[in-house]
Amino acid sequence: MKITGFELRRIAMSLVRPMRTSFGTLADRDVLLVRAMTENGIEGWGECVAFSAPIYSPEYVQGCAEVIERFFAPAILARKETAAEEVSGLLEGFLGHQMAKATIETAVLDAQLKERGQSLATYFGSTKEEVDCGVSVGIASSIDLLLEEVSSYVEEGYRRVKLKIEPGWDMEPVSAVRSAWPKIPLQVDANQAYSSRDAEHLSKLDRFDLLLIEQPLNEHDLLGHRELAKIMQTPICLDETVTSVADARQAVALGAAEIINIKPGRVGGYLESVRIHAFCQASGIPVWCGGMFETGIGRAANVALAAMPGFTLPGDTSGSSRYFHRDITTPFVLKNGRLKVPQGPGIGVVIDRAFVDEITTEIRRIGDV
């Protein structure tokens, strides 16, 4: 398959609930979309999950756009033919930038599968027609507001609730939610907010019967996670630590991870996600699909991934209305706590091009699109 050009498009997505970050509260999500065009006139789409600033990983939207434009796109356009399975190897010489790599690989993969008439779910070997959905709940300004927000999600039918925690906001909110909903599957996400010195404190979470605690310590502190796993009954789940299947192997071998959250953008793409899934399934390690405030483009691909057999825990694959007043694709609507897996060619969703044009803030083109 010959790729003739790429379009890099920035859009501003209005959020239903403002996103609290380390540099302020955001009402909009700055999203980078990449459109790949083949010589046969087939287009493929990928979505970059980086934030506007490097607050989750070293990557950020402007940087991703620049590295794709200057390095990744020219490397692919220089080839007579490119298969999606070759993209990661082709870009391996460019260090890091997993989110940018994932974006361009997904665009190429979407185009490739559309040419074949094959869905992403079929390509992955997914086995489910619907996936169980969880929801991630951020730090609230009060316990009452937290309970009000969680209540709305429980009423919508979400099958798992994840609470963000940090020092000073952990035992009390978790206790309040667990008391209000004694049976609901509940987990917590620390986003690296604690240190090994907090091990005894974190072990107090065991009494709340949690599915897991996600990334309690710094992403580089594998030994700390291993020692914490010896103290806590609650399973340790790694997120930011795992950026490749090699990282997953190391974490599991050290006893630092009992569960792994697979975020395709974080690990460099859906094909690496499939490799991590295969390793974890063979090793008896449960996995689930994390979310990064994706539009319908990224959500469609995540749902297809989450339909693979090793994804045994509900992911952050919420409905479109959880994040956006209006999505750029046919919206994903929660029904009985589940989302349907797209079955159309490629990522399998219809893009609202008129709306995308309306919210576009910048366009760059490389090659013939």
Residues belonging to the active site? 164, 263
Contact 87, 105 (CB under 8 A): yes
Among 292, 238, 266, smallest CA distance to 96 is for: 266
Among 98, 123, 95, smallest CA distance to 109 is for: 123
Report the alpha-carbon angle 69-304-361, nearest 5. 35
CB hemisphere CA count around 286 (13 angstroms): 13
Question: In sequence order, what DSSP letters do the residues of 117-161 get, joined into one string?
Answer: T-BHHHHHT---SEEEBEEEE---SSHHHHHHHHHHHHHHT-SEE
Among 59, 7, 56, smallest CA distance to 36 is for: 7
- Give residue 288's Cα distance to chain centre: 10
* Strand ranges of the sheet holding 213-214, from the earlier edge strand across to the other edge: 134-137, 160-164, 186-189, 213-214, 236-238, 259-262, 287-289
Contact 1, 83 (CB under 8 A): yes
Q: Which amino acid type is present at position 191? A: N
Q: Give 335's strand partners.
A: 338
DSSP state of 320: G
Distance CA 167, CA 228 (A): 16
Contact 212, 234 (CB under 8 A): yes
Tokens standing for residue 269 = 């793409």
Contact 173, 140 (CB under 8 A): yes
**Residue 355 DSSP SS3:** helix
- Residue 55: C-alpha distances to residues 21, 51, 217 (Å): 8, 7, 16
Judging by DSSP bridges, how do beta strands 186-189 and 3-21 pair with one another? unpaired
